[in-house]
């Protein structure tokens, strides 16, 4: 096959003929412009040039190859024709590097909040906006933290707590902690190795990672990074095209994934306004290419841009179909009421996650923790409790082992931690995740001793006072404990030349 010169590619730099280069391959994306989930604008910005750098954080490596008909794969770029681009170091790059250089040493990171402070300072604005944003007025994301603080411990004394054991199984898989790494999309916005930071740290420390459908790394890259026997779960966004979903799920099962967490709280993505605004600010250059065009989709932020494949017609009727295509455990992620918890039990799935999607979906939804109390009460009326065949997980706002233990005391099988680990690798890569795991371990050990629980079965409802949980004193409770007692890590000022 003959190679294509960069000059030839540059002649196809318009809406009428639009070629781009991704990883050394030339693609004709003219007919795809209006179908691109992220809109045409961003592609046109790179029309006739190399789009790899913009493509990488948002797409798994094989996405363009799989989505574009083969006749649109034009060929390989002739490397000798590509001007050796010495990447221009921008002021933003310099600032970011200076901030990275000024990070505190990892052993000064004492808790999960510290990672958040560092991540906020080192992440590019767009990445921070995407990760940290929640929907509308961001009331639910704050409530997720506040709910934990409305629960009080009732510790027991004088039990020999010389040795404490917090090992457990999650959906039949061994876990060194009663928590799992929950799915968060687009890991490469935070770190060049993206989700692999999580996989490697999880493998090393016996923690279970839930792989996101919208990871920046491909599914196979992630599974390949796991050590033999490392348990992995998969989070699933259901595609409008069920064949795609079926192939994806069955491929995951063949590759050894143990459980399928179907996201059920996102038929449409919430409005994360920080994320949406960021897009307006960022793409000025693209806007020029668009001049005079009508019908251009307004930018909706990173997440909304890539979510149009998600099927809003998903319903209870689909559950038997999922059961028919896989033997993995099936968990519904995003349950928020006893009514739906009972329906899930009756539908024969293996569990539910009480989640509000990290406050990113329906704002002013209650916290998973608050829902846990009502849902456990409802499930107790429908059979044995705890039910070995039906797990109840909680996520949202977990930053401390005390949060984990409160959820376990109230009946959760384990908890999910998303942003906590995301910020850990965004600030320190794999080592950050390992440190976060170690912090959870240290805190759990101490908290179990202080609670008088020698193993997780001794973490019982009587150890917490949840009587204030349902009382929402204000519509938007302030996380005042956090505000007043957390001393932000002091970040050195970057030295810019």
What mask of x and - would describe binding to ligand 173 in positions 199 to 238, judged by CB under 6 A?
A: ---------------x------------------------
Closer of 129 and 214 to ligand 173 (Cβ): 214
Query: And the tokens for 257?
Result: 């994934």
Smallest separation (angstroms) from ligand 173 to the CB of 391 = 21
Contact window for ligand 173 (CB under 6 A) among 102-110, 302-310, 377-385, 421-429: 302-310
Q: Which of 151, 171, 306, 319 binds ligand 173 (CB under 6 A)?
A: 306
Which is closer to ligand 173, CB of 303 or CB of 331? Answer: 303
**Whole-number minimum distance, CB 359 to ligand 173, in Å?**
10
Please say which residue, 103 or 279, places its beta carbon nearer to ligand 173. 279
Active-site entry in 265, 340, 363, 395? 265
Contact pick of 307, 365, 426, 430 for ligand 173 (by CB under 6 A): 307
Nearer to ligand 173, 150 or 357 (CB): 357
Give the nearer residue to ligand 173 in terms of CB position, either 184 or 447. Answer: 184
For ligand 173, give the closer residue by CB, 332 or 463: 332
- Report the SS3 class of residue 73: strand
Rounded CA-CA distance 335/339 in Å is 9
Tokens 């599974």, located at residue: 223
Among 252, 303, 409, 439, binds ligand 173 (CB under 6 A): 303
Q: Return d(Cα 466, Cα 383) in angstroms, integer.
A: 23
CB 218 within 8 A of CB 62: yes
Subset of residues 372 to 431 that bind ligand 173, contact rule: CB under 6 A:
none
Name the one residue in this structure whose structure tokens are 């409790």.
385
Q: Name the residue with tokens 């928590």.
A: 179
CB of 57 to ligand 173, least distance (A): 12
Helix (H) or strand (E) holding 395: strand 391-395
Our answer to whether residue 59 is catalytic in this structure is no
Instruction: Name the residue nearer to ligand 173 (CB basis): 301 or 351.
Output: 301
**Residue 275 appears among annotated catalytic residues:** no
Marked catalytic residue, from 299, 357, 403, 428: 357
Sole binder of ligand 173 in the list 109, 119, 168, 185 (CB under 6 A): 185
237 tagged catalytic: yes
Q: Find the helix or strand (DSSP H, E) in which 9 lies.
A: helix 6-10
Contact in structure between 106 and 435 (CB atoms under 8 Å): yes
CA-CA distances (angstroms) from residue 246 to 105, 238, 262, 311, 408? Answer: 45, 9, 13, 14, 34
Q: Examine residue 136 and say whether the peptide bond preceding it is cis (omega within 30 degrees of 0).
A: no
The whole-angstrom separation of Cα 411 and Cα 20 is: 52
Contact 60, 32 (CB under 8 A): no
**Separation CA 435–CA 176 (nearest Å):** 14
Q: Which is nearer to ligand 173, 355 or 427 (CB)?
A: 355
Contact (CB, 8 A) for 372 and 406:
no
CB-nearest residue to ligand 173: 307
What distance in Å separates the CA atoms of residue 246 and residue 253, rounded to the nearest whole number? 11
Binder among 222, 264, 269, 410 for ligand 173 (CB under 6 A): 269
Instruction: Assess 271 for contact with ligand 173 (CB under 6 A).
Output: no
State the number of binding residues for ligand 173 (CB under 6 A). 9
Q: How far is the CB of 386 from ligand 173 (least distance, A)?
A: 29
Minimum distance, C-beta of residue 27 to ligand 173, in the bound complex (Å): 22
How far is CA 20 from each of CA 17, 186, 284, 296, 297, rounded to the nearest angstrom? 10, 22, 19, 19, 20
Long-range pairs for 265-268: beta carbons < 8 A, 24 or more residues apart = 265/333, 265/334, 265/336, 265/355, 265/356, 265/357, 265/361, 265/362, 266/237, 266/307, 266/310, 266/334, 266/357, 266/361, 267/310, 267/311, 267/312, 267/314, 268/310, 268/312
Per-residue mark of binding to ligand 173, 332-361 (x: CB under 6 A): -------------------------x--x-
Catalytic residue (one of 27, 46, 180, 237): 237
The window from 59-67, 254-262, 285-293, 303-311 that contacts ligand 173 (CB under 6 A) reads 303-311
The least CB distance from residue 266 to ligand 173, in Å, is: 6
Residues near ligand 173 (CB under 6 A): 185, 214, 266, 269, 303, 306-307, 357, 360
**Would you please indicate which residues are annotated as catalytic (active-site) residues?**
237, 265, 357
């Amino acid at each position: 096959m003959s190679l294509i010169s960069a000059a030839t590619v540059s002649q196809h730099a318009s809406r009428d003929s639009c070629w781009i280069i991704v990883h050394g391959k030339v693609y004709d994306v003219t007919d795809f412009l209006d179908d691109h989930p992220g809109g045409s604008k961003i592609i046109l910005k790179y029309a006739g040039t190399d789009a790899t750098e913009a493509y990488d954080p948002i797409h798994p490596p094989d996405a363009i190859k799989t989505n574009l008909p083969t006749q649109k794969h034009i060929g390989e770029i002739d490397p000798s024709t590509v001007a050796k681009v010495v990447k221009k170091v921008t002021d933003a790059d310099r600032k970011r590097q200076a901030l990275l250089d000024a990070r505190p040493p990892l052993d000064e990171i004492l808790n999960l909040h510290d990672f958040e402070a560092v991540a906020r300072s080192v992440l590019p604005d767009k990445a921070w906006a995407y990760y940290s944003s929640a929907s509308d007025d961001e009331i639910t994301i704050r409530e997720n933290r506040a709910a934990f603080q409305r629960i009080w411990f009732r510790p027991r004394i004088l039990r020999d707590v010389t040795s404490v054991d917090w090992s457990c199984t999650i959906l039949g898989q061994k876990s060194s902690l009663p928590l799992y790494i929950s799915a968060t999309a687009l890991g490469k916005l935070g770190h060049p190795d993206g989700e692999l930071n999580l996989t490697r740290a999880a493998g090393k420390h016996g923690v279970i990672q839930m792989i996101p459908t919208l990871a920046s790394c491909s599914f196979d890259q992630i599974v390949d990074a796991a050590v033999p026997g490392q348990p992995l779960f998969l989070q699933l966004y259901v595609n409008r095209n069920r064949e795609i979903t079926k192939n994806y799920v069955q491929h995951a099962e063949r590759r050894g994934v143990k459980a399928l967490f179907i996201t059920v709280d996102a038929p449409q993505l919430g409005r994360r306004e920080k994320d949406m605004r960021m897009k307006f600010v960022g793409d000025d250059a693209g806007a020029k290419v668009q001049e005079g065009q009508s019908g251009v989709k307004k930018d909706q932020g990173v997440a909304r841009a890539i979510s149009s494949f998600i099927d809003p017609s998903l319903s209870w009727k689909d559950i038997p179909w999922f059961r028919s295509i896989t033997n993995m455990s099936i968990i519904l992620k995003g349950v928020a009421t006893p009514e739906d918890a009972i329906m899930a039990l009756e539908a024969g799935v293996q569990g539910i996650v009480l989640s509000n999607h990290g406050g990113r979906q329906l704002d002013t939804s209650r916290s998973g923790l608050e829902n846990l109390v009502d849902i456990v009460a409802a499930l107790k009326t429908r059979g044995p409790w705890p039910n070995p065949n039906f797990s109840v997980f909680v996520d949202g706002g977990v930053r401390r082992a005390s949060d984990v233990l409160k959820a376990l005391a109230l009946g959760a099988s384990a908890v999910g931690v998303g942003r906590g680990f995301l910020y850990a690798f965004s600030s320190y890569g794999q080592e950050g995740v390992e440190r976060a795991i170690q912090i959870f371990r240290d805190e759990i050990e101490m908290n179990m001793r202080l609670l008088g629980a020698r193993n997780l079965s001794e973490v019982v409802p009587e150890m917490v006072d949840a009587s204030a949980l349902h009382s929402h004193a204000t519509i938007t409770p302030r996380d005042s404990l956090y505000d007043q007692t957390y001393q932000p890590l002091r970040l050195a000022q970057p030295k810019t030349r």
